[in-house]
Amino acid sequence: MITNFGSLGVTNGVPAISAPMIAVLCVGALQEKAMRDAGDRLVFRSVLPLTLVFDHRPVDGAYAGRFLEALKDMIEKDTGRVF
């Protein structure tokens, strides 16, 4: 399941899961944040908070981490932005 707290302007949250769900992806509001680039210059980057809540009984934490990493890579590839 996916929940979009960001549509309400909320930056992030932790949704509750209940049977028969085994995972919920929470998408927060996109934010502009000041960061340092490779040349130590101050730049503004878009940050998209993602929270994955899952039941550890059927889902191993390593799989959940790889899912989030793959999702991040797909978003960055599609948008050309680094989150």
Q: Catalytic residue positions?
A: 56, 60
Strands 23-27 and 2-4 turn out to be parallel
- What is d(CA 44, CA 41) in angstroms, rounded to the nearest whole number? 10
- What is d(CA 18, CA 34) in angstroms, rounded to the nearest whole number? 37
